[in-house]
Amino acid sequence: MTMIIAHRGASKLAPENTMPAFELALRMKAEAIETDVQLTKDNIPVLIHDEQVKRTTNSYGYIKDYHLAELKQLDAGSWFSKKFAGATILTLEEFLQWMSDTPLHLHLELKNNKIDYMYLEPIVFELLNQYNVVDRTTISTFNPKSVQRFSQLSSTIEIGLLTSRKINNLARYAKELGAKAIHVKYRLLNKALIQKCQQEDMRVRVYTVNHFSPMMRCFRLGCDGIFTDVPNKALLYRNKF
């Protein structure tokens, strides 16, 4: 069955990558949450999508140039709606504390394709171990070198290579890097890709799928998961499928 993964939480109805978006995804009964992780200046993993804070907070500048204490002062909710004023950027640790008491699976995307944060992989891996969630976490990244580095840290954790580009023999390429899954942009999805992945024993997940017919196509083709901003709709449609 295709797993419904709340993309940055239930991000259509609450500010992405914040506690309200994660709590809403859980209430909607999403099976997994996808979130993006980067490092602060003091090497604390925090959950935010863009390398700069401008789009999703009331400030500007790069995550890598902020200490955690400074980032924590920012409002990560008001940009979305006044209703969410005061939501903060979460640390990965705060998220794991919350998640470890839920049945959720975690899709943790290392946002290290533009800025290749040093030590992001070991810092993240240590926290996942500390909170005992390694067996319900999938790591993903657009950065092939980071796939290799993470697979050297752990041969058991599931790692997915993210791509929005067409790559020749993608399944084999990702497998050779140490991935066990590919996470592709919807336009790259087709039957041949699914078949190739089955041959290579690779999982296939698709982002970002928010509408009825692409969702049904993903279910029909047998994708292992979809990343969606509307997990409530996706669950409804999957139940009908």
Q: Which residues on neighbouring strands pair with residue 138, listed in sequence order?
A: 107, 158
CB of 95 vs Mg ion, minimal distance in Å: 14
- 66 class by beta-carbon count within 10 Å (0-12 exposed, 13-18 middle, 19+ buried): buried
Total residues interacting with Mg ion, rule: CB under 5 A: 2
Nearer to ligand G3P, 109 or 175 (CB): 109
Indicate which residues carry an active-site annotation. Answer: 7, 49
CA gap 41, 232 in Å, rounded: 36
- Which entry of Mg ion, ligand G3P, none binds 183, CB below 5 to 8 A by partner kind? ligand G3P
Q: At what angle do helices 19-27 and 92-99 cross, to 10 degrees?
A: 20
Q: Determine the interface stretch with Mg ion among 73-81, 102-110, 167-175, 182-190 (rule: CB under 5 A).
A: 102-110
CB of 207 vs Mg ion, minimal distance in Å: 7
**3-class SS at 54?**
coil
CA gap 199, 172 in Å, rounded: 10
- 1 class by beta-carbon count within 10 Å (0-12 exposed, 13-18 middle, 19+ buried): exposed
Pick from 18, 76, 107, 109: which binds Mg ion (CB under 5 A)?
109
Nearest-CB residue for Mg ion: 109
CB 227 within 8 A of CB 208: yes
Nearer to Mg ion, 31 or 109 (CB): 109
Q: Determine the interface stretch with Mg ion among 107-115, 150-158, 164-172, 189-197 (rule: CB under 5 A).
A: 107-115
CB of 35 vs ligand G3P, minimal distance in Å: 8
Pick from 36, 121, 158, 224: which binds Mg ion (CB under 5 A)?
36
Binding site for ligand G3P (CB under 6 A): 7, 34, 36, 49, 109, 140, 162, 183, 207, 227
Reference 17, options 43, 45, 103; nearest CA is 45
Q: Provide the binding-site residues for Mg ion, judged by CB under 5 A.
A: 36, 109
